[in-house]
Amino acid sequence: MREVTIFEKIIAGELPCNKVLENDDFLAFHDINPKAPIHILIIPKVHVKNFQELKPEVMSGMTAFIQEIASKLGLDKSGYRLITNNGENGGQEIFHLHFHLLGGAKLAWGHFEDADPKGSF
């Protein structure tokens, strides 16, 4: 049997989060270890392991939800980066699908093993 993830415990109300937006299907909250001035995680309430296992019909609602958050925070105008880490080589640490929404500054590019991540978001 698989281990219940931290994000499922947040959805269940068993762990706290700094909530940004919620509806019946999705939840958005601030990342506990932000990599940019704005760093929000967006998760589906239904359990999905990662993007590779995501059904396109769930992605449809998630797209609208992410766009709503971006607009709410003014990121639709200033710009943002949307990332999902998938599996081991993608650097996924929590195996409940989440999108990272990053913004609030001009973001550097290049998160690769031989690149120095210091000083970049």
Residues that bind ligand AMP (CB under 6 A): 6, 17, 31-33, 41, 85, 91-94
SS3 category, 90? helix
- Closer by beta carbon to ligand AMP, 41 or else 70: 41
Nearest distance, CB of residue 48 and ligand AMP, angstroms: 13
> Is residue 100 within 8 Å of residue 39, measured between CB atoms?
yes
- Closer by beta carbon to ligand AMP, 77 or else 81: 81
Nearest distance, CB of residue 8 and ligand AMP, angstroms: 11
Where on the phi/psi map is residue 110: left (φ > 0), alpha (ψ -120 to 50), or beta?
Answer: left
Closest CA to 15 of 6, 25, 27, 28: 6
Q: Judge whether 111 counts as a catalytic residue.
A: no
- Which residues are annotated as catalytic? 98
